[in-house]
A and B are shown apart, each in its own frame.
Chain A
Amino acid sequence: MNSDDEARRTVARIARESYGRLIALLAVRTRDVASAEDLLAEAFAAALEQWPTQGVPINPDGWLMTVAKRRHVDWLRKGHVQMNGKAHLVASEIEEASYMTEELPDRRLELMFACVHPLIERGARAPLILQTVLGITAKDIASAFLVSPGSISQRLVRAKARIKECGIPFSVPDQSEMPERLNAVLEALYAAYSTGWDEAQDASELAPEAIWLSSLIATMLPAEPEAKALLATMLYTQARRGARRDARGCYVPIDLQDVALWDRTQISNAEKLLHACNRSGPTGRYQLEAAIQSAHIAQRLTGANCWAAIVSLYDHLIALTNSPVAVLNRAAALAELAGPDVALAELSAISKDKRILGYQPYWATLGHLNLRAGNIETGREALRVAIGLSTDDAVRQYLRLRLAS
């Protein structure tokens, strides 16, 4: 391997591992994500040019950071960037250049909080985190979120402009603001994990990235139970991933999954996180979601009947979120306790909710419950609608089999 290849590979490795760290450091200085990206792009270009001949520096992150900062000074001198406190910034450039051999501080948490600021439109928050902290391209984000690349790029550009124009702070909020702001971060990460409402679907391509970001935030904010709970929720789901399809590629619901295919390490990590967060704080949405997952898994692994506990956890979740999806899932659990007719009566409460009428699992549950209750025609009709609303062939295949039986 020649040194040119080595330099390219080093740049590629750093781009992946340190991208967010470096963007965060630069953006915290300039309060400008778009120019942080431009500066870093220039620094990476300089690295590709110089490292093959001069060798890879001992601290590549520090080298890239210093070059990016020098470029920033050049920009300021040329008048590229109009900003107050110019002199201070130039002085601090020189002072901070001495960081070269020291470990760089980690400001990714501050960057994530800026990305979910209330002034940033909701639909741009998760994409902005994915792009700035992980360097994922607009094109990949677009396919995962089912949005056209052009419109996601526009959203990202608008969001970065707002950060700059409104002077959105890069800081970790204080205790008074923390619950709301943290909730926005967690919501964005959960959106990145599931990219949609459809729990029957496989988690997205972005699932491992979202888990990585959630573990970052759970580690950086050890006192926040909801951050741990979100990570636990993702790990419980991820642990069952290998069991969600049978050999023919057909979807398998949790009650029929082969538990030997579950990832026990991920389950035990999730259990530890859930245990830790139940000890340390109030009961929030993600703690309830994680507890429900834990009960489902315990039920399969130990044979214990946890349906009453699951229904009561959903009661708390409904009180907290008023979510029709929680009402739906509670009804499905209630059917196991009190039979399908009682569950169907509960579902009539959300049967007019516009949010639920396009939701595939609603029709699938309605179909299954009606078939169990002996309402064959109503059940079959609901299952057909569920097939029509599916975007996943494995789920379609599973429902087709139910319809045929």
Chain B
Amino acid sequence: MNYMMLIHHDEAALAKANHKELWADYAAFNEALAKAGGRSGVRLQPASAATSVRLRDGKTEVIDGPYADTKEKLAGYFMIDVDSVEEAVTWAQRCPSARYGTIEVRPVHEQ
């Protein structure tokens, strides 16, 4: 079963983290995930770099910043193919970002 792990960071908490350690942990996490057949991952730039676009009544609105004004912001994702949601949750627990935000585990619509 395919799951997406959506990484939501508390950017303030992340700024205070020991970055050398965090990225070393991330390198280890990526290595473990690759060994277990993890699919792919993407790391986003900070939410302040976002531009949001929407169409209302035929009129285009372009806004600076992220879509949702929440404390924890989307920071990236991983795709994993595992046997059960329990296994997906275990990967989320291992993800270094779980210490600085929330990992949302969502099943992917299978075609």
Q: Report A's interface with B, CB cutoff 8 A.
A: 146-148, 151, 357-358, 363, 381, 384-391, 393, 396, 400
Contact = CB atoms under 8 A, between A and B. Distances in A.
Contacts of B87: 358
A17 B31 CA distance: 47
A357 B86 contact: no
B85 to A, nearest CB: 7
A391 B21 contact: no
6 contacts: A358-B36, A358-B87, A386-B32, A387-B28, A390-B94, A391-B94
Contacts, number: 49
Contact of B93 (A146, A148, A384, A388): A146
A145 to B, nearest CB: 8
B35 A385 contact: yes
A391 B91 CA distance: 9
B47 interface: no
Given A358-B36, A391-B90, A400-B24, A148 B85 contact: yes
A192 to B, nearest CB: 16
Contacts of B32: 363, 384-389
B89 interface: yes
Main secondary structure of the interface of A (DSSP, over half): helix
Contacts of B28: 384-388
A388 B86 contact: no
B84 to A, nearest CB: 10
Interface in B27-53: 27-33, 35-36
Given A384-B27, A384-B28, 13 more contacts: A146-B86, A146-B89, A357-B35, A357-B36, A358-B87, A381-B31, A386-B28, A386-B32, A387-B29, A388-B30, A388-B33, A389-B32, A391-B93
Nearest to B26: A388
Contacts of A147: 85-86, 89
Contact of B90 (A146, A151, A400): A146
B25 interface: yes
Contacts of A146: 86, 89-90, 93
Nearest to A146: B89
B90 A388 contact: no
Contacts of B29: 387-388
Contacts of A387: 24-25, 28-29, 32
Q: Which are the 3 A-B pairs with shortest beta-carbon distances?
A: A388-B32, A387-B28, A388-B28
A46 to B, nearest CB: 39
A400 B21 contact: yes
Nearest to B98: A391
Interface centre among A357, A381, A384 (most CB of B within 10 A): A384
Nearest to B29: A388
Contact of A151 (B24, B25, B33, B85): B85
Interface centre among B27, B29, B33 (most CB of A within 10 A): B29
